Amino acid sequence: MTAPKAIDAPDTSPPILGPQYRTATLGILLVVTLIAFEGMSVGVVMPAVSADLDALNLYGISFSAFLIASLFANVVAGLWSDRRGYPLPFLVGVVLFVAGMALAGAADAKELFLVARAVQGLGAGSSIVALYVMIARVYPAVVRPKVFAALSAAWVVPSMVGPAVAGAVAKEWGWRFVFYGIIPLVVPALVMLVPALRMASPGEADESPRGPRSQPLAMTLAATSAAGGAGVLLWGVDELHKQPVIGTAATLGGLGFLIYGLHRLLPPGALRFGRGLPTTVLLRGFFSAAFFGVNSFIPLVLTSVKLFDARAAGIALTTGALGWSAGSFLQSRRTAEPHRRIRLGAVCVTAGIVIALFAALPAVSGWIAVPAWIAAGFGMGLGMTTVSVTALRQSPVSEQGANSAALSVTDMLGSALTVGLGGAVINFIGHGSGQIATGFVVISVLMALIGLAATFLAARTR
């Protein structure tokens, strides 16, 4: 185990763009950039998609379908990576991701669009877990903070140009071409990745004894239970105000399946906030839940309430990503203990959410979302990236895939549940301009409470 370096000690770790790691680093960054373009673009054009397909009542579930499918793919790809190596699950994920983009662009009904989002989620979930395992296998522990900082930096260019390009393309040619336009980016990405994927053979997986979280059938059933339970839970919450009895039954049933699945998917003790790895993994979900539970609705409130166009509404998302990169760079300097960096990150996310709340108020400019999301993004870069690095350091080699999957499970599940909940809040309150503003305030308050909870739980990651 590598001993911690003193703060003032010279950095002697190999550069991630040096000859030893250049190919792997460039390949990883290209794929992250591709996924970043999709994430930033879809968030900006979703109001237009909802209007064109008459799907405002499915606004939240359109994001959640992607995330719930990713949750299932996370587990399967993690098991696959542990046993057979990361190249094949990564390539399968990229193919599914592209197929989902093509389906989304061709969708002529909201139901088909939801299917397309789920296919995209399967691809993105598989690819991201494979990338995490690649980082754990290719880079030594002392280098990983730099790699995660580079991953966050890979969001900078898409975040700076993605919202503006997506808004311009949607305005000139329609939102469908936002999805179609991402597909050609796959070709150069795969060409660059071929050497990186050859660095790992299918038989590279660690041969250490495997625990119960590496049993393929049990884990696949658990993933199905968690993903299905999350979907039923969100459907039930959305139905509560229309069919109280059915909605309540679906909510409770979905919650039961979700808890059963998470009990098997997460490290032992996670649902009890056990110290160390269990809480570290769980906090990834808290960060995602708080941040993305608000982030997904910022374009909606700015376009529907403040009458911004798609390009202007995307600026808040752009600034959030810039803050994220700055926070991630700071965590790579390791100037404080991990749990303190996680706590500070949670404080920044909570503060950003509270400030963003005012963007929905009549007397306040919508542009207040810009500084708010810089602060929230900074907190995500500082806290969430530290969580990822800490979880890998706390994981035995034979469970790196399973714990990488657990990180992504809590990440995707946190986002899916809160975005779906936000959509249910909007549907319950109403789709008028003033009603969307009220719904956004309620969503922001709920997400701020989740961020506040993360500040108190940070100490349990030690």
Is 73 contained in some domain?
Answer: yes
Residue, of 297 and 218, whose pLDDT is higher: 297
Is 189 contained in some domain?
Answer: yes
**How far is it, in rounded angstroms, from Cα 31 to Cα 24?**
11
Query: Both 332 and 414 in a single domain?
Result: yes
CATH code assigned at 159: 1.20.1250.20
Query: Both 246 and 276 in a single domain?
Result: no
pLDDT class of 193 with cuts at 50, 70, 90? low
pLDDT value at residue 103: 92
Query: Both 164 and 249 in a single domain?
Result: no
Query: Both 311 and 346 in a single domain?
Result: yes
Task: For residue 208, give the DSSP letter.
Answer: S
Q: Which of 231, 248, 265 is the last residue of a domain?
A: 265
Query: Both 242 and 377 in a single domain?
Result: no
Is 9 contained in some domain?
Answer: no
pLDDT value at residue 201: 43
Q: Say yes or no to pLDDT of 214 above 60.
A: no
Q: Say yes or no to pLDDT of 242 above 90.
A: no
Average pLDDT over residues 324-352: 83
Query: Both 173 and 227 in a single domain?
Result: no
Query: Both 298 and 410 in a single domain?
Result: yes
pLDDT class of 179 with cuts at 50, 70, 90? confident
Q: Which of 250, 265, 280 is the last residue of a domain?
A: 265
pLDDT value at residue 442: 93
Contact between residue 351 and residue 367 where contact means Cβ atoms under 8 Å apart: no
Total domains present in the chain = 2
One-letter amino acid of 332: S
pLDDT value at residue 9: 45
Q: Which of 207, 235, 265 is the last residue of a domain?
A: 265
Query: Both 116 and 73 in a single domain?
Result: yes
Q: Mean pLDDT over all residues of the chain?
A: 80
Among 451, 426, 67, smallest CA distance to 230 is for 67
Among 130, 73, 69, 123, smallest CA distance to 93 is for 123
For the beta carbon of residue 422, count every other beta carbon within 10 angstroms: 27
pLDDT value at residue 152: 67
pLDDT value at residue 5: 42
Contact between residue 222 and residue 260 where contact means Cβ atoms under 8 Å apart: yes
Query: Both 69 and 28 in a single domain?
Result: yes
pLDDT tens digits for 95-129? 899 899 899 888 888 889 989 999 998 998 888 77
pLDDT value at residue 10: 47
What's the domain range around 277?
22-199+266-461
Choice among 141-145, 150-154, 423-427 with the minimum mean pLDDT = 150-154
Contact between residue 77 and residue 437 where contact means Cβ atoms under 8 Å apart: no
Is 210 contained in some domain?
Answer: no
Query: Both 106 and 233 in a single domain?
Result: no
pLDDT value at residue 160: 67
pLDDT tens digits for 292-327? 899 888 888 888 888 887 777 777 777 777 787 788
Query: Both 293 and 360 in a single domain?
Result: yes
pLDDT tens digits for 20-56? 677 677 777 877 777 777 777 777 788 888 888 887 7
Structural Rg of the chain based on CA atoms? 21
- In order of 156, 324, 387, the CA distances from 328 in angstroms are 12, 6, 11
Among 452, 236, 215, 261, smallest CA distance to 345 is for 452
pLDDT value at residue 256: 92
Is 250 contained in some domain?
Answer: yes
Is 298 contained in some domain?
Answer: yes
Is 112 contained in some domain?
Answer: yes
pLDDT value at residue 12: 55
pLDDT tens digits for 254-274? 999 999 988 888 888 888 888
- In order of 31, 104, 117, 319, the CA distances from 182 in angstroms are 12, 12, 14, 22
Query: Both 229 and 322 in a single domain?
Result: no
pLDDT tens digits for 54-69? 877 777 788 888 888 8
One-letter amino acid of 180: Y
Is 370 contained in some domain?
Answer: yes
